[in-house]
Amino acid sequence: MTKRKLQTKFEPGHGYSKEDWDAVSDNPEWTEEDFRNARPFAEVFPDLAESIRRSRGRPALANPKKQVTLRLDSDVVARFRAGGPGWQSRINDILRKAAGLPK
């Protein structure tokens, strides 16, 4: 992926006019005073910050899954994958039944 150079001044030929460029340049550079007056997001919006913090990651499960590495014959994996999405859950169900565990 190629990094693009950030345009800091108007250059024609990019699909917009000088008037368009001037109309959207209403976000000026921050001054030293702006930086001094800045406050953390969590301080300004504590409720929103807490809700974001709370909702991150996978939900806690009563019986969480455990990731393992397991070597299976390629024809066995191919057979389950051919069944489409959910093939890993189907393997889990079969192993659970073989181990005599409730569903």
Backbone angle region of 57, left / alpha / beta, with phi > 0 → left and psi within -120 to 50 → alpha? left
Domain that holds residue 37: 18-54
Q: Is residue 42 part of a domain?
A: yes
Q: Are the CB atoms for 10 and 21 separated by under 8 Å?
A: yes
pLDDT at residue 27 above 80? no
| Domain count along the chain | 1
Q: How confident is the model at residue 24 (pLDDT cuts 50, 70, 90)?
A: confident
Q: Is residue 78 part of a domain?
A: no
Helix, strand, coil: what percent of the chain each, to 5?
45, 0, 55
pLDDT in tens, 55-100: 667 777 777 888 899 999 999 999 999 999 999 999 999 999 999 9
Q: Is residue 84 part of a domain?
A: no
Q: Is residue 29 part of a domain?
A: yes
Q: Is residue 11 part of a domain?
A: no
Q: Is residue 48 part of a domain?
A: yes
